[in-house]
Amino acid sequence: MARQRKVLASLKAEEVCEEGRAGLSNSMTHHVIEFCAGGGGQALGLEMAGFECEAAVEIDPDCCTTLRANRPWWDVRNDDMRNVDAARWKGVDLFAAGVPCPPFSVAGKQLGSSDDRDMFPDALRLIEECSPSAVLLENVPGFASSKFDDYRKKLLRRLEKLGYQADWKVVQAADFGVPQLRPRFLLVALRPQTFDYFQWPTAFDRKTGVGPTIGDLMSAGGWRGATQWIEKANRIAPTVVGGSKKHGGPDLGPTRAKKQWREMHVDGLGIADQPPNSDFNPNGHPKLTVRMVARIQSFPDGWQFSGKKTAAYRQVGNAFPPLVAKAIGRSIRSALRMQRAPSNNGDEQLRLLEEPAVYYSSGQPLKPHHFM
């Protein structure tokens, strides 16, 4: 019986991957190199969109352990992007980077170029060295504020000098099957001959809430209040915050966010080790586990995070949601092939969230070569 379940799960995983490739021909392989890869959210989403990861560079050792454990065939490099020469990847299809956000975050001092953590200059150097066909840069929505108008203009001018046309947009994760308010600044640059084919992915027709997304996990410990809780928590969550190594243990963010979580009947004052059991108050406010938060970020259950709870939660909370990366990746891949992005009303992505037995419990997507 166990073997039957394993085979069935494998078939379901392949079914999901097949649907994820709908509208994309398999006649051409595209490769991506990623910097500041973190716990793998963006890289995983780009893999779902059909990009094979050529290399993933990340400075945090726990993140690198996570990446190697989940994708042993990726070239994972534990290094500071400031020390890397990207010429070895000359002509790669896509350069992707989630450059550090503190210099532009409203939660910080927003020092921008005056902050020594500003990695946009190094990203531009790496882009010049590897001369990719396309560029994807991700950051906090604060980078779109008027305070950084001049900075953005300089960034766009530099990309233009390197031979790219670029566009940027603040994308809302909740529009792409992720049950949380997680706006992100995205910049996409392509060569002039392919830029006109690029289209930003359109928002899905419907959204999904936290309760239905993690309901099976919340009830796994036998909690008698799980069914009612699923209805109470059937809302879009506030932005999940991973925090930094300088600031304490794992929780669900600042005071305002914790209040919003409490309105969803969630205790945001920490992260639980296990789901609530049968002794937990049926009308209580349970804490989320790392795995539950990973679900809310749209990671499949098969994606395991290394390190102790705080380190694992930090990787989850700071990640770029895979389903959002998949949506933007499909649009970039279509443009590289001089095709319009396939239309998608979101049913496919939402089904991944609504049928956890298919997406979450069936394991990880297939190896990149299956996308060829």
CA distance 230 to 227: 5
Residue showing tokens 């400075």? 59
How do 76-78 and 51-58 pair as beta strands? parallel
CA distance 165 to 104: 23
Of 313, 234, 229, the closest CA to residue 271 belongs to: 313
CA distance 205 to 160: 35
The residues facing 277 across adjacent strands are: 222
Beta strands in the chain (DSSP E): 30-35, 51-58, 76-78, 94-97, 134-139, 165-172, 183-190
Residue 293 burial class via C-beta count within 10 angstroms: exposed 0-12, middle 13-18, buried 19 and up:
buried
Which residues make Cβ contacts (< 8 Å) with residue 47, sequence separation at least 6?
A: 53, 365, 368, 371
Check if 101 is active-site.
Answer: yes
Residue showing tokens 């749209």? 298
331, HSE (Cβ side, Cα atoms, 13 Å): 22
Of 53, 63, 101, 130, the active-site residue reads: 101
CA distance 281 to 270: 18
Q: Which two tokens stand for residue 298?
A: 């749209």
CA distance 38 to 17: 23
Residue 251 burial class via C-beta count within 10 angstroms: exposed 0-12, middle 13-18, buried 19 and up:
buried
The residues facing 166 across adjacent strands are: 189
CA distance 242 to 245: 10
Phi/psi at 127 (5° precision): -65, -45
Residues forming the active site: 101
